[in-house]
Amino acid sequence: MATAPTVGFIYPDHAAEDDYLLAAQILGVDLPVVHIYGTDLHAIPELLDLGSPEKLAGGAALIAREKPDAVMWACTSGSFVYGPDGARQQAASLAEATGVPTSSTSFAFVNALHALGITRVTVVASYPEDVAKLFVDFLDAAGIEVLSVSSAGIETAAEVGLLTPERVVELAVRNDHPDAQALLIPDTAMRTIGVLGTLERRLGKPVLTANQVTIWEGLRLAGHTAAQSSLGTLFEKGNSHGSD
């Protein structure tokens, strides 16, 4: 029987990292999290600093102690703020530093959508509008059409981490688009692992959330597939295809 992989996550500050512990328990895999620190403002200059080479190099050194089979930069805004080329360079630098396959949450969204054959989405963002627009641009560059985007305008990751499960569901249901094939929630500071089943039942379509896709992508890079209905359509149907 194959040994379950270890996927390491470099996570900014503290907010919803217990999503990874919950997913590890559900999936029976090892998902260690290390932290890098900066201001947790959802503002472009601060996000550029958070995803800087110096910060990520520090995270790479920390996660190396876990001897991971793959590493993820578990931050959507701190990757898409650099655009596709910059985010690709982040992953390449982490791969060089850790010696294992790496990616980030922004690319995890793209690869998850490709795996499910989805091209039209709605985005329910916690960020201010200017930051949310950069995520839309990132998706557009990957051939994903965003039919609508809502912005909760929450200024810090810490505030997002305080949202109740009921509030997360309410935000998604209120801001869905009827023609979207899937709904995306792009903030790793938002706890979503425990409400994926509820979200998909309420909306009747796949829901992709930041922590969910980050875990899926890390396991994919580690060569591990895990079908688990409680983690949404992605973990039921998205493991039969690879991507970038």
Same domain as 102, residue 216: yes
Same domain as 91, residue 122: no
In a domain, residue 241? The reply is no
Q: How far apart are CA 158 and CA 162, in angstroms?
A: 7
User: What CATH code is carried by the domain that includes residue 192?
Assistant: 3.40.50.12500
Same domain as 140, residue 198: yes
Same domain as 87, residue 121: no
Q: What is the pLDDT of residue 240?
A: 59
In a domain, residue 124? The reply is yes
Q: What is the pLDDT of residue 228?
A: 86
Number of domains within the chain: 2
- pTM as predicted: 0.94
In a domain, residue 25? The reply is yes
In a domain, residue 233? The reply is no
Same domain as 164, residue 87: no
Same domain as 85, residue 141: no
Q: How far apart are CA 112 and CA 221, in angstroms?
A: 12
Q: Going along the chain, which residue ranges are E strands?
A: 7-12, 33-36, 70-73, 102-104, 120-125, 145-151, 182-185, 207-209
Q: How many CB atoms lie within 10 A of CB 97?
A: 19
Q: What is the pLDDT of residue 181?
A: 98
In a domain, residue 89? The reply is yes
Same domain as 38, residue 76: yes
The three-state secondary structure class of 145 is strand
The tens-digit pLDDT sequence of the chain (244 residues) is 457 899 999 999 999 999 999 999 999 999 999 999 987 778 898 899 989 999 999 999 999 999 999 999 999 999 999 999 999 999 999 999 999 999 999 999 999 999 999 999 999 998 889 999 999 999 999 999 999 999 887 777 778 878 888 999 999 999 999 999 999 999 999 999 999 999 999 999 999 999 999 999 999 999 998 778 889 999 998 775 444 4
In a domain, residue 243? The reply is no
- Domain containing 64 equals 7-107+211-228
Same domain as 156, residue 180: yes
